[in-house]
A and B are shown apart, each in its own frame.
Chain A
Amino acid sequence: MEYFTNNNLIPANLYYNLVDDSIYSMEPLCGLQNHFNPGLAETSPPILLRHSPNKGKDIGGKMVLLDAYLALKKYSDYGLFVHDKKSPYKTGNETWASNLLKISTNAFGQQAMAIFEQQPGVGIVTAVGNVRNEQDHRSGLFTSSNRTLLPALLDHYAINPSSYQYVAGTMFWFRMKPLQDFFGIHAPLLIRSTLEQGNVTDEVTGSNTHCWERLLSWIITSQHYSIKAI
C-alpha cells in the first residue's frame, strides 16, 4: 500500500486483492484507507477489496480483480497491474522488483498516459528491462520451461500475437479494452480454476500460472497493439 502514497500515482479506482491464506495477512481487512496519504483523504480512490487464497500467485489475484471489474462495470480506458513482487529464489530479485514497481510513480504514469493518447498502436507500457521474448530468435521455438504448455493455450483461447514479446513480472500499464473484450468471453474465474495452488515456480517444469504471465501481454498484442518500454 506504500506504493500509493507520496509521489506515487493515486488511481481512479483501486482494485486490491489480498491473499487470505498467507501468514502475512492474518489480520482484519480494515483501515486500508488509512494507508493512503491522510492529506488526500477526500480524493483517495474508491477501494474495491477482495481476498482470495493463493491460487495462481499474482495471476490468480489479477483474475479475481478482473472478474470484479467486469461485474461492477466501472469501465476505464487504461489500467495498471501491480503486485508485491518477491521471487526470493532469484538472484537480483530486488532489482527486478524495483524496476517493475517504478511504473506506479506519478511521473511514469503520466508518461504512459501520454503515450497511449499520442500513439494509438501502443497497448502496453512498461519500464525498460522488463520486456522479454519467449521465442528463440534463431530457432523460432519457445525456449522456457513453459514451451509445452503455451501452444495448447494459445490455440484454445485463439490468441495469435504478432510477436512473442511479453512483460516479465506482469506489471505494466495497458489499454483496458483488449482485456475487457477477451475476459468478457473467457470468464476470469474459469481461467483461475486452471492455475496452480500456492507458490508455484517454473524453474524446472512449466506451469499454467507462468503461461498466463505471457498470455496477459499476448492478449493485447494479438489485437494489433505493441509493447513500449520507457
Chain B
Amino acid sequence: MLNPVIFLSENFNLFHYDGGGDPANPVYPSLLLDAADTEKMGQAYKFVSENQTNNFSLAFYLHEALSEKAVLTICSFLFIPFYLDFNGQRPLLLLAKDGAVLELARTKITAAAESQGVNNLLIHCGTSHEANSCLSPVAGTTEGFIFYTTATLVINYEKALENGQVNQLFYLFDVQADQNELPAVIAAIESRMKATNPVVYRLANELAARLRANQLLSKKYTAVENELNNYRSHMEIMRSGHEAAALQQYYDNEYEALPLWYKRCGHMIKVLTGKRSFRSLFNHQIKKQKD
C-alpha cells in the first residue's frame, strides 16, 4: 500500500484489529476518545497496555479545553511502543466544533510532548459537530492527511494516487465494513493503478520506500551524533580529573612561568654540577640528564 489508512473506532472491541503489523498493508486502528472523559482514557490506556500488539494511534473529540490530566494521559500513551510511527512521526487527530479549542489543545499537547522529549508528534485537526463524523479538516493542518468515509474511500484514494499523493495519512470515518477487509479494498485500487499506470505505480512505491529509509537513516544519524557528543564530554571529564592534568598545571605555574634567562642559568648550574651534559645545551637530540 502506498498510503497508510487509519480508521477511527470508539469501541474497544473493534480495536482488536488483525492487521496493522504488516508494513505492506498499513491499515491501523485509531482509538477515538472523548477528551473530557479521563476515566475512559485511563481504561483505554489499560486496555491498550494489556492487549495491543499492533500499531495504533489516538484521536480525541474535544467539547471543551483540554485538562492537564488529559494532556498527561496522552503523553503516557506516547511511550507505548506500539504507538504508530509514521515516517518518524506519531499521528494524533483532534476533532472539535470550535477551531479555537482545537488550536489551544494542539499547542498544549505539543508543549507537553516536547517537555517529555517527544518532538515528532504529528497533530491533525478537524472540525466536526460530533465525534466520528468529520465535516472538514482545519485549514493549515491538512498537509499529508485526508478524511474520508468508507463510501468515498475508493474514488478518492484513486484520485489521490493519480495526483501523485503517496505516503500520506488517510483517516477513515464511519467504517461500515469489516475493517479487516480494508487492506484488500486498498490493494484492489492499487492493482488497478499498477495495471493502468505501471511506471507511476513503480515510482510511487520507490518514493514511499525511499522516504521510509531516509527517515530511519536520519534517526540513526541523530543518535550517532548524540553518542559522539557523549563520548566527547566523557573524555573532557576524564581529562579534567586526571592526575596528569594536576601535574601539568603545577608545571605550568611553577616552571613555565619563569623567565628564559633564569632557566638558562639553571641549565648551566646543572652542567657545572654534572647533572646535565654540555652538548645537550646545543643539541636537543642528545640526552639531557646524566644517569
**Complex formed: what's the CA distance from A106 to B219 in Å?**
39
Contacts of B216 in A (CB 8 A): 26
Q: Are A52 and B79 in contact (CB under 8 A)?
A: yes
Q: Are B230 and A198 in contact (CB under 8 A)?
A: yes
B-binding segment of A65-73, A107-115, A163-171: A65-73
Choose from A26, A52, A193, A198 the contact partner of B219 (Cβ within 8 Å): A26
CB B41 to nearest CB in A, in angstroms, measures 10
Query: DSSP class of B's interface residues: helix, strand, loop or mixed?
Result: helix
CB A58 to nearest CB in B, in angstroms, measures 14
**Complex formed: what's the CA distance from A225 to B233 in Å?**
38
**Complex formed: what's the CA distance from A51 to B116 in Å?**
12
Contacts of B76 in A (CB 8 A): 67-68, 71, 189
A-binding segment of B7-15, B154-162, B207-215, B220-228: B220-228
Contacts of B266 in A (CB 8 A): none
Q: Are A49 and B81 in contact (CB under 8 A)?
A: yes
CB A87 to nearest CB in B, in angstroms, measures 9
Contacts of B234 in A (CB 8 A): 88-89
Q: Are B118 and A53 in contact (CB under 8 A)?
A: yes
**Complex formed: what's the CA distance from A67 to B46 in Å?**
12
**Which range contains the number of A residues in contact with the other chain?**
20 to 34
CB A190 to nearest CB in B, in angstroms, measures 7
Contacts of A50 in B (CB 8 A): 79-81
Contacts of A55 in B (CB 8 A): 116-117
Contacts of B73 in A (CB 8 A): 71
Contacts of A48 in B (CB 8 A): 49
Binding site for A on B (CB under 8 A): 42, 45-46, 49-50, 72-73, 75-76, 79-81, 112, 115-118, 216, 219-220, 222-224, 226-227, 229-230, 233-235, 237-238, 240-241
13 A-B residue pairings within 8 Å (CB atoms): A21-B219, A23-B223, A26-B223, A51-B79, A51-B81, A64-B79, A68-B76, A71-B76, A72-B45, A72-B49, A73-B46, A193-B115, A199-B230
